[in-house]
Amino acid sequence: MIEMVNGYPCADCTDVSNAKRGLDPENPTRDPVKQEKLDREAGRVPEPAVVFEGRLAELRRAEDAAAGQPTRSPDAAAVLPSARLFDITV
């Protein structure tokens, strides 16, 4: 039987215990990679933190082409979970 505890669907007593503590039963360890996978499956793809437009976007594409990297789209962070975690390129 599925019951709802604190807004989380719970299938067993472990899920209920996690939900009572405020943890998502699907991801109780709060693993960011697993959370991105769950969000993508549910259709909740996060927006990238920074989107370059105008002149900055052109510079970024030119740098990527010179380095031999594929051109990045604004949704690159949504496709690559690791790109969203720590991308501190200058």
- 5-50 confidence digits (pLDDT tens): 999 999 999 999 999 999 999 999 989 889 888 988 888 877 777 7
pLDDT at 10: 94
- Higher per-residue confidence, 60 vs 20: 20
Residue 79 has pLDDT above 50, yes or no: no
- Higher per-residue confidence, 74 vs 15: 15
One-letter amino acid at 82 equals S
pLDDT at 52: 77
Residue 76 has pLDDT above 70, yes or no: no
* Integer angstrom CA distances of residue 68 from 27, 37, 61, 75: 37, 29, 11, 19
